[in-house]
């Protein structure tokens, strides 16, 4: 299939062939959901921690009489039933990551790319470069292209001026080709790929 190529000034600049193996896959909601869950679980720090009874600072001296107190026979105040005591079965540092086969992850990325192409939410740019690095100028250029909520993917390296200009624009993310992922593709309305990004993707899945 073919796609029109535009410049940042919203001018036509020829066409490019899109690989059907990347942009012609029928999306499946269950595969995409599994991939998003995998990504979000993997990014969790897992550093939450609460103190258990053995970790509370304090004396272990019995604070009341065994009999005659009119209540339960408690040992020390570090018990989990008292204020300031330990927490029973509380969170401990751990990894939240889940397993997902490499082939499924690759398939999910192809489906995410295909969903944008099928929904006419894919924009191909000749390149993503800014001369002055000004946010106002880039916002105007993106407005001419009808882009106000998008993920922009460039080649192996980002243009420093373009990245600087884009970072202050709300709902616009810029990533190098190696950083493309399913979650960021789906969370933005449009996907913008440069010709360098397309070449990198085709090389990656060759």
Q: Residue 13: what pLDDT?
A: 87
pTM of the shown model: 0.84
Residues 66 and 82 in one domain: yes
Task: Give the span between the Cα atoms of 149 and 168, in whole angstroms.
Answer: 13
Residues 183 and 106 in one domain: yes
Residue pLDDT tens, the chain, 206 long: 889 999 999 899 899 999 999 999 999 999 999 999 999 999 999 999 999 999 999 888 898 889 998 888 888 899 999 999 999 999 999 999 999 999 999 999 999 999 999 999 999 999 999 988 999 999 999 999 999 999 999 999 999 999 999 999 999 999 999 999 999 999 999 999 999 999 999 999 98
Q: Residue 46: what pLDDT?
A: 95
Q: Residue 184: what pLDDT?
A: 97
| C-alpha distance from residue 31 to each of 146, 193, 196 (Å) | 30, 23, 27
Residues 114 and 39 in one domain: yes
Tokens of 148: 């106000």
Q: Residue 121: what pLDDT?
A: 95
Residues 111 and 15 in one domain: yes
Contact 82, 72 (CB under 8 A): no
Contact 129, 105 (CB under 8 A): no
**CATH assignment at residue 117:** 3.40.1370.10
Residues 7 and 79 in one domain: no
Q: Which domain holds residue 82?
A: 50-90
Classify strands 12-17 and 2-6 as parallel, antiparallel or unpaired. antiparallel
Task: Give the span between the Cα atoms of 45 and 66, in whole angstroms.
Answer: 45
Task: Give the span between the Cα atoms of 29 and 2, in whole angstroms.
Answer: 25
Residues 117 and 157 in one domain: yes
Residues 41 and 59 in one domain: no
Overall number of domains in the chain: 2
Q: Residue 145: what pLDDT?
A: 94
Residues 136 and 185 in one domain: yes
Task: Give the span between the Cα atoms of 145 and 8, in whole angstroms.
Answer: 8
């Amino acid at each position: 299939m073919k796609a029109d190529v535009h410049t940042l000034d919203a001018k036509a600049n020829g066409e490019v062939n899109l690989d059907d193996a990347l942009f012609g896959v029928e999306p499946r909601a269950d595969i995409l959901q599994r991939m998003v869950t995998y990504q979000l679980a993997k990014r969790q720090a897992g550093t939450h921690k609460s103190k258990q009874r053995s970790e509370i600072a304090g004396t272990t001296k019995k604070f009341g009489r065994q009999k005659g107190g009119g209540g339960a026979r408690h040992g020390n105040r570090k018990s989990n039933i008292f204020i300031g005591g330990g927490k029973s079965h509380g969170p401990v540092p751990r990894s939240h990551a889940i397993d997902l086969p490499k082939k499924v992850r690759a398939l999910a990325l192809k489906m995410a790319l295909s969903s944008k192409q099928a929904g006419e939410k894919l924009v191909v740019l000749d390149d993503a470069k800014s001369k002055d690095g000004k946010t106002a100028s880039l916002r105007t250029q993106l407005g001419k292209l009808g882009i106000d909520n998008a993920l922009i993917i460039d080649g192996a390296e980002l243009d420093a001026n373009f990245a600087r200009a884009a970072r202050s624009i709300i709902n616009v993310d810029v990533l190098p080709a190696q950083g493309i992922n399913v979650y960021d593709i789906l969370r933005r309305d449009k996907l913008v790929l440069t010709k360098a990004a397309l070449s990198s993707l085709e090389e990656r899945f060759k």
